[in-house]
Structure 1
């Protein structure tokens, strides 16, 4: 079971809001809105996605990684490496 299963509904709602922001951006471009206004909305959507990603990462660490470390062994090492790689990708983006 995924670490976020308990808050799946909340995550889905959050993603729908982000989807709405992106669709709003599309409309802004289609309607020739002012560049800075579009960029402001891009920043808001980017922040929303980053916040979502951090929430998912927190749940992954609290559930998947914590569970694996309790078991120990190669699975724990793999989960820690996987989480470290995910953090590195988020930092680079």
Structure 2
């Protein structure tokens, strides 16, 4: 995965946040919390993971468009990755 330092930091921050939220979801289930609360937090984890994935794809897409001859992923590959998240 090719990224600049700022994008890498942003992705890692999103993933760490999702990791913390997931730990919270697990604790909520273990504590027998209300279904609505658990699902709300689970949806937040899902969004955080999706946003991290989209950030990775957009960063690589920018690199692909600005330096198309580099050995990074091609547009078709990035499109397929994008659609897996959509």
TM range (shorter): 0.7 to 0.9
Give the SS at the match of 2:85: helix
Unmatched 5+ stretches in structure 2: none
Q: Which has the higher contact order (CA 8 A, sep 6+)?
A: 2
The answer for unaligned runs of 5 or more in structure 1 is: none
The answer to whether the Cα contact below 8 Å between 1:4 and 1:60 also exists between their aligned partners in 2 is no
Match for residue 56 of structure 2? 56
Structure-1 separation of matches of 2:34 and 2:48? 22
**Distance between the aligned counterparts of 2:45 and 2:79, measured in 1?**
25
| RMSD over aligned Cα atoms | 2.2
Q: In the TM superposition, what are the counterparts of 1:19-34 in structure 2 within 5 Å?
A: 19-34=19-34
Aligned residues: 85
Q: Which has the higher helix share?
A: 1
State which structure, 1 or 2, has the greater radius of gyration over its C-alpha atoms: 1
Normalized against structure 1, the TM-score is what?
A: 0.77
* Equivalent position of 2:82 in the other structure: 87
8 A contact 1:3–1:60 mirrored in 2? yes
Q: Aligned equivalents of 1:4 and 1:53: distance in 2?
A: 15
The secondary structure found in structure 2 opposite 1:27 is: helix
TM-score of the pair, normalised by structure 2: 0.82
